[in-house]
Amino acid sequence: MTDDRRSRSSVTLHPERDERLLLYGAIASLAVSIGLIGGGLRLIVIGVPFVLAMAVGARRRPSHAVAVEVTLDTARCVEGDRIGGRVDIAAPDDVAVEIAIERSTDALHPPDDQQWAWSVPIGTSRPVGMPFEVEAGRWGRHTPGAVDVRLIEPGSLFGWRGRVVQIPEVTVLPAAQRLDDLLALDAAQVAAGAHPARRLASSGYEFSEVREYRPGDRLRDLNWSATLRHDELHVNRRTPERGGDVVILIDSFPDAFRRHSVVSIEMIRWAGRTAWSIASAHLAANDRVGIAVEGTRTRWLPPQAGRRAKLVIFDTLLQATASSSDRGMAIGPSERIQVPPAALVVAISPLARPRTLARLHALRADGHAVEILALDAGQLLATHAAALPEPVVRLRDLVFEERVAGLRRTGLRVTVTHPGQSVGRSIRTISRARQRIGRAS
């Protein structure tokens, strides 16, 4: 059984000439040559130590075996968290060891007060372990880097160095904003008792999780396989029938900002973080949440509930955003979206593609309740694409405003959101609008 928190590797490091070898040779040759030509004994004397150092240090050294194991406290965290780790190394006792983690991404980095480098002098008992910390700066799947090792033997003009092992991959979950307000579902659903349900129950019809038995749980809910496996009582928990359906439609817009890759990546992260906040809040309320992502291909995750659904939704968001920002990834076939009839559809889009607008109109025509969070990219373009002419920026703003107005004229509700704006503020705006419409009807 593999442990995704641990990686280990053993390599054989072969001796390489140190840069001092050429330097000593040049100094010795120059001193002796000038001394012989000019008859200066002092110069010859200066060159003698370098000749002796070369004679002793240039002797061929054997290869050395090195084993490194990296262990993380966890392979999953939330943006802003710190993860503890440890580097254990086994190397020969007669050499000094220098260890460094070569960082491969800014998404996982050492805290400001730490350095990812260590030195192990001769005489230290082996193996030796060094603790370190990783700070998660951006959501996604990342590896902090790789462990580089250098061996140093006193008096030798040879060195041993190499990359030994990659640090295990870390899954960084988006920091979901706390949403005091959930998206209000249709009045017909509320009347039927469909929303909200903020507790788990045993009498629901949809499986949610398995947990330890607690006093008051019904014996008929016992999960016998989990009970036998853990040697203690476990029960099934189900989602109550009162949970509603929310489908989050994400436009990952792979071509909308193709000339400005930084803006495109920031927009995708922004959309993913917004979707994650909404999904996390509604899953906590025992609603069923589905994800539809339209980009280089269409991905569809039917509505589901429970703790397991949270990780499945994250994987879907991660795969979708990765394929949108990396054109080298293989593109598979699109999947057909089948939105449940009573589901509320929340669309997250910069409204940059006509195909997305057509999809929103089609969903409305099919009788679905559709709410749109329009991502205004104006601030990001002004920050990361400063070279754009003013007329181009103004034209983009006018097109965005016209598309927002056009959607509203057809009866679709659009909430414009900006980078850094609270997701909760947008949700409150949508909920108030739906409540006013419900009272009016």
- pLDDT, residue 197, reads 46
pLDDT at 20: 64
Q: What's the pLDDT score for residue 146?
A: 94
CB neighbour burial string for 32-68, b if at least 16 within 10 angstroms, e if fewer: beebeeeeeeebbebbeebbebbeebbeebeebebbb
Q: Say whether both 207 and 328 belong to one domain.
A: no
The verdict on residue 96 lying in a domain is yes
Please write the tens of the pLDDT for every residue from 332-377.
Answer: 566 788 888 888 899 988 888 888 888 888 888 888 888 898 888 7
In a domain, 332, yes or no: yes
pTM: 0.64
Residue 168 shares a structural domain with residue 271: no
Walking along the chain (441 residues) 10 residues at a time, the average pLDDT comes out as 81 79 66 66 65 60 88 88 92 89 87 86 85 88 90 78 92 71 49 42 62 84 89 80 78 59 71 84 83 81 83 80 50 73 86 85 87 81 63 78 90 82 68 52 44
- Name which of 182, 187, 206, 186 is nearest 344 in CA terms: 186
> Is the domain of 34 the same as that of 161?
no
Same domain, 132 and 69: yes
d(CA 247, CA 291): 6
Residues 162 and 41 in one domain: no
Q: Given phi > 0 = left and psi -120 to 50 = alpha, else beta, which region is 297?
A: beta
The count of structural domains within the chain is: 4
Are residues 35 and 84 both part of a single domain?
no
For residue 5, give both structure tokens.
């928190």
Residue 347 within any structural domain of the chain: yes
Does some domain include residue 184?
no
- Domain check: are 44 and 86 in the same one? no
Q: What is the pLDDT of residue 131?
A: 93
Nearest to 297 by CA among 277, 327, 271: 327
Let me know: does 29 contact 50? Beta carbons within 8 Å.
no
Cis (ω within 30 of 0) for the bond into 127? Answer: yes
Do 277 and 400 lie in a common domain?
Answer: yes
Other Cβ atoms less than 10 A from the Cβ of 79: the count is 17
Continuous segment of H or E residues that includes residue 166: strand 158-166
How confident is the model over 380-439, as pLDDT tens digits? 666 665 656 677 667 778 888 898 999 889 888 888 887 767 766 667 666 665 555 444
- Do 322 and 370 lie in one domain? The reply is yes
Are 263 and 330 members of one domain?
yes
Is 187 contained in some domain? no
Give the position of tokens 């998660």: 136
Inside any domain, residue 277: yes
Q: What is the domain extent for residue 70?
A: 6-16+64-173
Q: Do residues 276 and 219 share a domain? A: no
Determine the pLDDT at residue 67: 93
Shared-domain flag, residues 168 and 28: no
CATH number of the domain that residue 104 is part of? 2.60.40.10
